[in-house]
Amino acid sequence: MELPDLMMVRTVLPWLDIAGIAIFAISGALAAARREQTIVTFTFFAAVTGTGGGTVRDLLIGAPVFWIHDNRALAVCLFAALAVWMTPRRIWPVKALEWFDGVGLAAYAVFGSWKALAYGVPPLGAAAMGVFTACLGGIIRDVLAGEPSILLRPELYVTAAALSAGLFVVLTLLGAPLLPAAGMAALAGFALRALAIHRGIALPSYRD
C-alpha cells in the first residue's frame, strides 16, 4: 500500500520521527507533572500526546495504525514518561521545548498530509489529516485531563499546522517536487508558530 517515496522517507528519517514523538511525549508527561499525577497518568498522557494524532489519521485513512506494529514509538513514550517522572520539573527547559514542539508541529503537519496523499486521499481531506496528525494528540490529552484544549484558545497553534498542511498540499497539486514542497511548507508553518511564541500574536475572536 505504501508508496516508494514514503518508504524512503521512513528509511532516511526514522530518527527524526522518533525525536518528534519524544518531544510530544515529553510535553504530555510535563502536563501530568503540572497536575501532580502518578506515573500511570504520566505514561498515558505521554503516549496519547505522542501518538494520538497519527493514530486518528491512520484510522481515518484506513492505514494500519503506525505504532501498533512497531515497538519503538510506545517505548519512546514510556521512556519520556519515566524521564519526566524521575526528575524535578524545573530541569526541563519549558521554553526550549516549546520551540521544539513548534518544529514537530510543522513537520508532522507536512508528514500527515503526505501520508494521506500517498493513500489516495483528495486535497481537502489530506490537509485535514496533516492538521490532525500535528494537533490531535494534544487535544485528546486536554480532554482527558478535563482542561480547555488549544482548540479553545486564540493562540496560533492549530493555524500554524493548517498553514503547513495546506501549503504542502497546494504545492504538491501545483506539481512541486516532494522535498522542496515539504521544506517550504514546514518552514512557513514553523515561522507562523515562532511569531506566536515570540510575539504572542493570536487569532481574533468572534464578536457578536
By the criterion CB under 8 A, which residues form the site for a second copy?
Answer: 32-33, 35-42, 44, 47, 55, 59-62, 64-65, 67-71, 74-75, 78, 85, 88-90, 120-125, 128, 139, 143-149, 151-152, 154, 158-159, 162, 202-208
- Shortest CB 52 distance to a second copy, Å: 12
Three-state secondary-structure class, residue 171: helix
| Close Cβ partners of 152 (under 8 Å, ≥ 6 residues apart) | none
CB closer to a second copy out of 92 and 99: 92
CB closer to a second copy out of 146 and 177: 146
- Shortest CB 179 distance to a second copy, Å: 26
| Close Cβ partners of 90 (under 8 Å, ≥ 6 residues apart) | none
CA distances from 42 to 33, 66, 133 (A): 7, 21, 21
CB closer to a second copy out of 8 and 151: 151
CB closer to a second copy out of 48 and 181: 48
Q: What backbone torsions phi and psi does residue 155 show, to the nearest 5 degrees?
A: -50, 145
- How far is it, in rounded angstroms, from Cα 63 to Cα 81? 27
- Shortest CB 208 distance to a second copy, Å: 5
Output the nine-digit C-alpha cell for 120: 489516495
- Shortest CB 139 distance to a second copy, Å: 7
Please name every residue paired with 155 in a beta bridge, in sequence order, or none if there are none: 202
- How far is it, in rounded angstroms, from Cα 57 to Cα 73? 16
CB closer to a second copy out of 12 and 205: 205
- Shortest CB 65 distance to a second copy, Å: 5
